[in-house]
Amino acid sequence: MPERIDRTERLLNLVICLMATQAAVSRAQIERQIPGYAQAASPGAFERMFERDKEELRSMGIPVETVSDPSGEVLGYRVPQESYALSPIELTLAERAAIAVAAQVWSRAAIANVPGTALRKLETLDSADDEWSPSDVHGTVQLTSSEAALLPLMAAIRQNRSVGFDYRAPADVQSTAREVSPWGLRSSQGRWFLIGYDHHREAQRTFRLSRITGAVTVTAKPRQLQPPEGFDVSSLHRADDEPSVDAVVRVRASRAAALRRHATVSAADPTGEADLTVTAGSRDALVSLVCAAGADATVLEPDDVVSDVVESLRAVLAAHRVGDV
């Protein structure tokens, strides 16, 4: 018997699928690619499921568009990237293959314990490309531990329930408990954010999901405060109030191209070994850039970024049980 797919997971998969391409995704593609639809008892049952899901996403502030040809025939559906997510993603075949292999690695890591759908985004990006498809690389894809918050938060928004979680703000040393009436979710700058009313702060707040520590608890009580009149999550700007972060990073010759692209103060020799001043939109983004460069980069200052890089590398080693640094 096919495994039953939770509706919240199906909705999340549908959002990711429709966000991943500028072209319309047909109903046939949706039925084939989204787990849960293929198990429908009949074509009519699939149509009813899809219509309910589509309308529910719209009610949550996600702009699902219907694309028709000049004669009025429906070609498919999409979530416009310009109004809800990132600009179009363009990857080479080698980069797509690397992502697929990385997904296999993280699926076996200790921190990856919630099923993910990253490769499905790539399949919708290049459905017509016969040279390579992410499905050629077999393995189970996992969401990171921070993105695991997506499913319970989507469920809470659907059910009009309050949520509780521990959250570490940029200026906090330790996490603090928060009780939130969730209003909407938004993807921006490659990260996910929750917008809602923080009952401890008694004000509207934006929470970056990567800063949620531990599990999200969906409470039994209804959402205590409704969104303000005219609230539209798709109209909000980048939901990240952290200032940009600079660090001095030493890079090896002809290495660390991504860090070189983010350098605001670069060396005279664009490919030689150098100490670069690198700027990123947040400390998390900067740490990710440095860690991704591996042995080709060493962060020199400031001390707090150095500490964060060391902590992140220790976490990766611990997740794979490689041993101590």
Q: Who contacts 105 (Cβ-Cβ below 8 Å, separation ≥6)?
A: none
Q: Please give the single-letter amino acid code of residue 64.
A: V
| Mean pLDDT confidence for 269-294 | 82
pLDDT of residue 115: 34
| Mean pLDDT confidence for 222-237 | 76
pLDDT band at 108 (very low <50, low <70, confident <90, very high): very low
pLDDT band at 260 (very low <50, low <70, confident <90, very high): confident
pLDDT per residue as tens digits for the range 295-319: 899 999 999 889 888 888 887 777 7
pLDDT band at 192 (very low <50, low <70, confident <90, very high): confident
pLDDT of residue 223: 83
CA dist., res. 289 & res. 117, Å (int): 23
> Average model confidence (pLDDT) for the chain?
75
- Compute the C-alpha angle 204/209/213, nearest 5°: 105
CB 244 within 8 A of CB 279: yes
**Would you state the structure tokens that stand for residue 156, as one six-digit string?**
């809470």
Strand partners, 182: 196
Q: Is the pLDDT of residue 33 over 80?
A: yes
Least confident of 50-64, 217-231, 234-248, 293-307: 234-248
CA dist., res. 61 & res. 84, Å (int): 10
| Mean pLDDT confidence for 163-169 | 90
Q: How many CB atoms lie within 10 A of CB 185?
A: 23
**Would you state the structure tokens that stand for residue 94, as one six-digit string?**
């080698």
CA dist., res. 144 & res. 154, Å (int): 16
pLDDT band at 285 (very low <50, low <70, confident <90, very high): confident
Order across the sheet with 297-301: list the strands: 263-265, 274-280, 245-251, 297-301
Higher pLDDT residue, 3 or 42? Answer: 42
Residue 233 Cα to chain centre, angstroms: 16
| Mean pLDDT confidence for 61-78 | 87
- Compute the C-alpha angle 177/179/180, nearest 5°: 135
Q: What is residue 25's DSSP assignment?
A: B
Residue 152, preceding peptide bond in cis (omega within 30° of 0): no
| Mean pLDDT confidence for 185-192 | 72
pLDDT of residue 262: 79
User: Which helix (H) or strand (E) covers residue 22, if one does?
Assistant: none
Q: How many CB atoms lie within 10 A of CB 1?
A: 4
Write down all domains in the chain, each with its CATH number in brackets.
7-88 (1.10.10), 147-235 (2.30.30), 245-319 (3.30.70)
CA dist., res. 68 & res. 47, Å (int): 17
Q: Is the pLDDT of residue 90 over 80?
A: no
Q: In whole angstroms, how large is the CA radius of gyration of the chain?
A: 21
User: Which helix (H) or strand (E) covers residue 270, if one does?
Assistant: none
